[in-house]
Amino acid sequence: MVLGALAVFAALVVAVFAGAFGGTGSQATTAKTATNTPAKLHTPATRPPTQPVKATGSYRGPVPILMYHVITAPPAGTAYPELWTPRERFRGTVALLVRSGYHGVTIEQVRRAWAGGPGLPAKPIVLTFDDGYLSQYAHAKPTLRAAGWPGVLYLEGKNLGAGGLTTRQVHSMIAAGWEVGAHTLTHPDLTTVDDATLRREVAGSRTLLQRRLGVPVNAFCYPAGRNDARVRAAVRAAGYKTATTVEPGIARPGDDPFALPRIRVNGTDSPQTVLDHVRSGTGATGSGGG
């Protein structure tokens, strides 16, 4: 009887100490919980600062603007595979740009610097992302966040919500320093639509994004780069302050703010190729995009 009682007492002591100090019983419970709990995107143990450090300086000169679309490898047989940049290649490109002394900024920061506001750091660069894909939130955002850089999301109205980026995801990108610009409601060729449709697509997309997201929307991106004098006038009348095209080149202070060039990045471009394009102002060519 005494030996039996002592054995029970000893077992209880072991169980108590195991639970308090992380013994095998506690580990098994933890493992089971971890297995049954759905994984969450980007939940680091130590959360980095929400906003990137504002990159400022005295620079007010030309700025390269990169154009990206999907940040993941293209599935076999997909249309326009050159618009899909594998995330490992994207990470390598950002890392090379950082090592080469570039600093990520937004379109709005560039506009203000050119207008006499706060200056930019030496070697500023803008990374823009068209349309609004989940990979831009899941892959581009953490890569830029690790570099302390913002991005610019040119978001289609129809891609905000079911089937696209959720409001919560876009708010998370804004909290990480991203700027949101409009890319129309449904991505039409604006040069071919009637005046009423043009106003709805241009002004309506700005109204929608500002109402849903609660932030200013001052930047616009022409679908497929298609624009003419009538379209540019509609963008200006809607209250935007800048608009980007798909024409290759480096944006300069004297450029028409409603026809800023961008350097398109193809999915097969190596980090060195992108860096060469940034330095020269040349861009990739091909169908699709914008």
Residue 180's nearest CA partner among 145, 154, 148 is 154
Using the predicted structure, report yes or no on whether residue 39 has a pLDDT greater than 90: no
Structural domains of the chain sorted by starting position, each given as residue range(s) with its CATH number in brackets: 2-32 (no CATH), 65-280 (3.20.20.370)
Summarize pLDDT for 118-172 with one digit per residue, the tens: 999 999 999 999 999 999 999 999 999 999 999 999 999 999 988 889 999 999 9
The answer to whether the CB of 165 falls within 8 A of the CB of 200 is: no
Average pLDDT, the chain: 85
To the nearest whole percent, how much of the chain has pLDDT over 90?
Answer: 75
The answer to whether the CB of 88 falls within 8 A of the CB of 71 is: no
Kind of pairing, strands 65-68 and 103-104? unpaired
Summarize pLDDT for 248-279 with one digit per residue, the tens: 999 999 999 999 999 999 999 999 999 999 99
Cα separation values, 43 from 86, 132, 138, 280, Å = 22, 22, 12, 38
Q: For the whole prediction, is pTM greater than 0.85? A: no
Residue type, 83: L
| Least confident residue range of 41-45, 75-79, 171-175 | 41-45
- The helices-and-strands tally (H runs, E runs) of the chain is 10, 8
Summarize pLDDT for 15-26 with one digit per residue, the tens: 333 333 333 333
**What three-state secondary structure class fits 17?**
helix
Report the distance separating Cα 256 and Cα 258, nearest Å.
Answer: 5
What is the CB-side half-sphere exposure of residue 276 using CA atoms within 13 A?
6
pLDDT mean over 231-249: 97
Strand-pairing partners, residue 103, are 124
And the tokens for 249?
A: 């080149």
Structure confidence at residue 83 (pLDDT)? 96
Using the predicted structure, report yes or no on whether residue 27 has a pLDDT greater than 70: no
